Each structure stands twice: as C-alpha cells, then as structure tokens.
Amino acid sequence: MSRKVTDKVVDNRPRHVQTIIVGSGFAGLGMAIRLRQQGREDFLVLERGSDVGGTWRDNTYPGAACDVPSHLYSYSFALNPDWSRSFSKQGEIQAYIRKVAEQNNVLDKHLFDCDVLSMRWNAETARWDITTSKGDFTAETVVSAVGALCEPSLPDIKGINDFEGEIFHSARWDHDVELAGKRVAVIGTGASAIQIVPAIAGKVAHLDLYQRTAPWLLPRMDRPYFLPERLAFKYIPGVQRLSRAAIYAARETQVVGLAKYPALMKIFETISRAKLLAEVRDPVKRAKVTPNYRIGCKRMLISNEYYPAIDRDNVEVVTDGIAEVKAGSIVTKDGTEREIDALIVATGFHVTDSPAFETITGRTGQTLSEQFDEVGQRGYKGSAIENFPNMFFLLGPNVGLGHTSMVYMIESQINYVADALATIDKKKLKTVEVSPEAVRVYNAELQDKMADSVWMNGGCASWYLDKHGNNTTLWPDFTFQFRRLTKNFDVAAYNTTTTTDSDTKLKAVAAQ
Ligand code: N01
C-alpha cells in the first residue's frame, strides 16, 4: 500500500523528542501513561486516527463486542467497576479507553490525524528520522504500538473492484449504508463475521455467507451485571480484583490444552459439537458448518447467536468457493451466480505482512518487511528486533493470544520497555540493539515450545503462521511466564554504545 503526504500541517509540537510512540490503542496509550508516571515529559504519541482506542475505535460494525470478559480486558491500573455486562460492547470499551486517557492526562501528548509515513534509523545522529503527514520528527527512541489488527486485508478475488453495489470491510463499516431489505453477502466466518451475521440477518432480505473454513464455536457466558454486583465491585475492597483473578485463572487453564497437550482440546470439541447439534436444525447447513480440524488450531469463537442466525431461512451458507465477483453478483466455482446489493468483506487483517513493516528502515538499510521476508518474523520478547536499534515494539512477534486478555501482555511489555528507557538513561546509553545471538536462542526455545501446540498440529491453515510456516504470532506458554520474562530490561541481551563510544567512532569515521 503506498502512502502519500496529504496533509502537511505545520504543528507547534517540538520536532525532536526523546521518545516517540506510534499508535494509541490499548498499547500506545498504556505506554504514554507509564511514561508520564515515570515523570517523563519529553515524548509524543503520533496517532493516525482522530481519537485514542485503535482497533476499538475502528471496529464499529453491528454486534462488535469483546470476547474476553471486561474485568480482565482492562488496564490493571484502571479497573472499571461500572462495566455493564461481562463481555462489553465496542462502544463501552471505546468510552473506557477514552476516559482512561483523560484521567491520566496524556491527551496533550497526542498528535492525532498524524499518519506515520516512514521511520528510518540515522546512524550518524543515532536517532530515528520520522516522516509523517504532519511533517518530520526525530527521536532518540521509538515505541511502535501499531498493533496487529490495524490494516484490513482485502481478498484478492477476481472482479471485486468492479462490484457496483455497496462494499466495505468489517473494520471500516459504512454506517450510511442501509442494509434493511437488501440482498447482502458476507465473505469470511472469523471473529468479526460471527458477530456481524446475527446483528444483520434479521434485517436483510437475504444473506449469503461465504465460508472458506468453518470456525469452532463455544458458548458465550455473557450477561448484564446486576446492581448489587456493580455496587460490590465499586465499594467492597478486593471484590473486583478477586473477580479479575478468577477470570484470569480460568482462562489460563486453556493453555494446557492449546500449547502443551492438544489431545485435551477434545473436551472443548465435545461441547462445541453439542452446541452445533442443538442450535442448527437444518442438517445440510449443520454439515457445512462442522469444522474439520482440531479445535483451537484457529481462534475459538464464542457466540450464542451465530448458529441460530445461520439456521434462518433467509441465510444461505455458501461453501463452494468464490470464482469471481461481478457488478451485481458473486459467482462460485460450481458456476452458480447469486445476485446481491451489498458486499461485506470480513476477511481479517494483514498480521504477518503488515504494510507498516514496509515503512520502517533499520540499521542495515533493509526495511522490516524485507528482513522478515528473508529471516522470518522474529523478535526478542516481542519487544525488540535485531538491526532496529533504539526501537521497541508493543505487540511485536509472538505475543498474541487467542484465549485471554491482550491487555495483560501489553502491560507486561510496557514494564519491559519502561525499564529499558530507564536503563538507557541510567547507563547513558546512546544505542541499544538486541544481539543476534539473544534473538536466535530466544526463538529456538520459543519454536521448540510451539512444536507441540494445537496451532502447529491441529490440521488448519491460519493467519498465525507466516509464509515460512512458523507461528510468529502467538505466545506458546502461560501468560504469567511472559510477565516474568519481561519484568526487567535485560541489557545483557543487547549490544550497546554509550554516548562516548559512538561519539569517538563518529569522529574516527569523520577523520578518515
Ligand atoms: O478476521 P479473521 P476477523 N476468500 O482473519 C476468511 C480479533 N477480533 O476480522 O478461515 C474467502 O479471523 C477467512 O477464512 P479462512 C481476533 O483476534 C476480536 O474475523 O482463512 N474467505 C476467515 O473466515 C480475531 O482473531 C473480536 O479460511 C476469506 C475470515 O475471512 C481477529 O480480530 C472480534 C478470504 C477472516 O477471519 C481477526 O478477526 C473481531 C478469501 N479470499 C475480531 N480471505 C472480539 O474480541 C479470508 N477469508 C470479539
């Protein structure tokens, strides 16, 4: 994807800061708050959207809600006793993130509508040169917090650009389009689609759901909180922390089956099959939506409305594979043509091939995407990548989860990066760059753990894997192990230069 400088607004912010954070979703915002808590002032958050929230700001499709309980899916330093239900909807989560930003006084550090176009390491100045839609910046350290689910992935289907009806991606929902009474197609049956389909199936005249791989579904234990519960969360010390701990522990037990003993996942398969039998009456449809791989290999989804929605008479599940999209229809590989007025593309995100990787150029002159292409997408503790000095990543390689709260992982990484910045100051380091040996050892151990997991052995193709066949997306262990690993910045794993070292080298180069 090529990006253009469209809006060179001159802003009165400083053009050089010590630290630039890119992105202000849960990760970037949490980092900004921590920097303020550390007493730092010399930083800036560059955010391409016009508000905080990241993926929760962008995904406004009907039915959007979290599939991790809210008491866990929130910052540990900003618990919210007012969650209205166990699994909150998008609007409530976005309002929570916004409120946390306001309460922690970091909005003044944000530059919104600022699209980062390129970041290039400058070895002479030992700084990052950053070009944005609002002009150029330099920084001694960068924290990339752009997230994995930010760049919608559009399917490469013949003719899709020639479709003449309404068409949009699930993460860019067009609320001006009225779907009521229309013939609608949805492509994809992932976490987004299974929320969209029940939300629109009762309104549209007809819905064609194009499924490539059937997802596994489990019950969604969602309910509104009663007033006495909310009062207890608010006023009785420890109740909310206890509830959070119980949710955390229950979710963590899934790691045993997912990462260590996939045979245990049969328990979940039994629950899911029973659900399928009870909720899809039509045997033809039931056969179509029965998965043919081990549960957990792709993200397990939770919904009580999806199966009843596809069981409706006005919903057809199409599994023949799309051959072509025409001006007003979709043609499947068996030659059937189905006319539609609107097309919703719920095909996920560029995770292992994010366009953002093309815009970051490291010490060797290679972009992140070129390096990943050659050696695979690997990092160190999800937070640093070799050849990219003074750059830290939140939600970098192998920190993803399918079963519990990403906010927990994000906070672990924030601890690590905050300690890294403190170490840089304390030791007067000019550059820190993770050593190739540390990366090699770390990834060898990580992929060793991954080898037994259901993600590698469950018989599915998923976006967790990169083009080399490695799972570069998920963390293959208990999340408390990751918390332990990231408690302190382990400077010994990094090649460093001090101010004096690099100045001396620069002088030597200049003298040659
Ligand atoms: O995307 P996905 P998503 N032709 O990549 C299909 C988070 N999330 O937006 O399985 C036809 O999961 C693809 O088929 P297949 C969560 O982390 C969280 O739904 O690859 N079909 C799949 O069915 C989640 O994991 C929440 O065979 C094509 C679907 O499109 C992540 O976001 C809610 C296709 C894509 O599914 C992404 O979820 C929503 C093609 N060319 C999202 N290309 C909650 O917390 C792709 N597909 C609730």
| DSSP track, 320-335 | S-EEEE-SSEEEETTS
pLDDT for position 149: 87
133 and 181 co-located in one domain: no
pLDDT for position 7: 39
- pLDDT above 70 covers a percentage of the chain that reads 96
Query: Is 259 inside a domain boundary?
Result: yes
Query: Is 366 inside a domain boundary?
Result: yes
**Phi, psi values for residue 85, rounded to 5°:** -150, 170
Full residue range of the structural domain in which residue 336 is found: 160-215+253-345
Query: What would the pLDDT profile of 133-162 be if each residue is shown by its tens digit?
Result: 999 999 999 999 999 888 999 999 999 999
Do 420 and 432 contact (CB within 8 A), yes or no?
yes
Closest by Cα among 397, 497, 490 to 446? 397
Contacts of residue 427, defined as CB under 8 A and 6 or more positions apart, other chains included, come to 491, 496, 498
Rounded to an integer, what distance in angstroms lies between the CA atom of residue 263 and that of residue 266?
6
Rounded to an integer, what distance in angstroms lies between the CA atom of residue 288 and that of residue 277?
12
**Final residue in a domain of this structure, among 293, 327, 345:** 345
269: its two tokens: 């398969």
481 lines ligand 1 (CB under 6 A): no
CA distances from 97 to 28, 57, 200, 273 (A): 11, 9, 27, 37
Query: Is 223 inside a domain boundary?
Result: no
Query: What would the pLDDT profile of 161-186 be if each residue is shown by its tens digit?
Result: 999 999 999 999 999 999 999 999 99
Radius of gyration of the chain (CA): 24
CA distances from 115 to 128, 135, 204, 255 (A): 16, 10, 36, 37
Closest by Cα among 455, 458, 460, 467 to 352? 467
pLDDT for position 468: 85
**Mean predicted confidence (pLDDT) in 182-202:** 98
Pairing of strands 301-302, 217-218: parallel
Q: What is the CATH number of the domain that holds 471?
A: 3.50.50.60
59 and 99 co-located in one domain: yes
**Phi, psi values for residue 7, rounded to 5°:** -145, 75
Rounded to an integer, what distance in angstroms lies between the CA atom of residue 296 and that of residue 215?
10
**Mean predicted confidence (pLDDT) in 255-280:** 96
425 and 313 co-located in one domain: no
182 and 100 co-located in one domain: no
294 and 386 co-located in one domain: no
89 lines ligand 1 (CB under 6 A): no
Residue that wins the pLDDT comparison between 511 and 359: 359
- Residue 499 pLDDT more than 70? yes
In this structure, the number of other CB atoms found within 10 A of the CB of residue 505 comes to 12
Query: What would the pLDDT profile of 330-355 be if each residue is shown by its tens digit?
Result: 999 999 999 999 999 999 999 888 89
The dihedral of CA 229, 233, 238, 240: what is its sign?
positive
148 lines ligand 1 (CB under 6 A): no
90 and 178 co-located in one domain: no
- Residue 1 pLDDT more than 50? no
Would you say how long the chain is, in residues? 512
213 lines ligand 1 (CB under 6 A): yes
Closest by Cα among 493, 433, 431 to 124? 431
**Mean predicted confidence (pLDDT) in 497-508:** 64
In this structure, the number of other CB atoms found within 10 A of the CB of residue 324 comes to 15
Q: What's the 221 CA to ligand 1 centre distance in angstroms? A: 22
pTM of the model: 0.94
350 lines ligand 1 (CB under 6 A): no
Do 85 and 71 contact (CB within 8 A), yes or no?
no
**Mean predicted confidence (pLDDT) in 250-270:** 96
155 lines ligand 1 (CB under 6 A): yes
Query: Is 449 inside a domain boundary?
Result: yes
In this structure, the number of other CB atoms found within 10 A of the CB of residue 494 comes to 21
Closest by Cα among 331, 329, 332 to 341? 329
pLDDT for position 222: 96
Q: Which numbered atom of ligand 1 lies nearest the CA of 66?
A: 45
262 and 405 co-located in one domain: no
Do 225 and 83 contact (CB within 8 A), yes or no?
yes
279 and 399 co-located in one domain: no
Helices (H) and strands (E) in the chain, counts: 16, 20
Query: Is 232 inside a domain boundary?
Result: no
337 and 355 co-located in one domain: no
pLDDT for position 495: 98
Q: Which numbered atom of ligand 1 lies nearest the CA of 301?
A: 48
Closest by Cα among 415, 382, 386, 377 to 398? 382
Query: Is 118 inside a domain boundary?
Result: yes
Closest by Cα among 228, 212, 175 to 58? 175
Rounded to an integer, what distance in angstroms lies between the CA atom of residue 231 and that of residue 246?
19
* Confidence band, pLDDT 50/70/90 cuts, at residue 11: low
289 and 173 co-located in one domain: yes
188 lines ligand 1 (CB under 6 A): yes
Quote the mean pLDDT of the chain. 94
**Final residue in a domain of this structure, among 318, 345, 372:** 345
Q: Indicate the residue type of 271.
A: I
Query: What would the pLDDT profile of 286-296 be if each residue is shown by its tens digit?
Result: 999 999 999 99
Q: What's the 191 CA to ligand 1 centre distance in angstroms? A: 6
146: its two tokens: 């752009």
In this structure, the number of other CB atoms found within 10 A of the CB of residue 456 comes to 19
Q: What's the 171 CA to ligand 1 centre distance in angstroms? A: 11
Beta bridge partners of 121: 128
The dihedral of CA 148, 150, 151, 157: what is its sign?
positive
Contacts of residue 441, defined as CB under 8 A and 6 or more positions apart, other chains included, come to none
Q: What's the 193 CA to ligand 1 centre distance in angstroms? A: 7
pLDDT for position 512: 47
Query: Is 248 inside a domain boundary?
Result: no
Mutation test residue for ligand 1: of 347, 349, 463, the one with most atoms within 8 Å of CB: 347
Do 145 and 22 contact (CB within 8 A), yes or no?
yes
**Final residue in a domain of this structure, among 345, 379, 394:** 345
190 and 261 co-located in one domain: yes
Query: Is 192 inside a domain boundary?
Result: yes
- Residue 6 pLDDT more than 80? no
**For the chain, how many structural domains are there in total?**
2
Rounded to an integer, what distance in angstroms lies between the CA atom of residue 502 and that of residue 403?
45
Q: Indicate the residue type of 197.
A: V
The dihedral of CA 489, 490, 494, 499: what is its sign?
positive
347 lines ligand 1 (CB under 6 A): yes
280 and 356 co-located in one domain: no
In this structure, the number of other CB atoms found within 10 A of the CB of residue 92 comes to 17
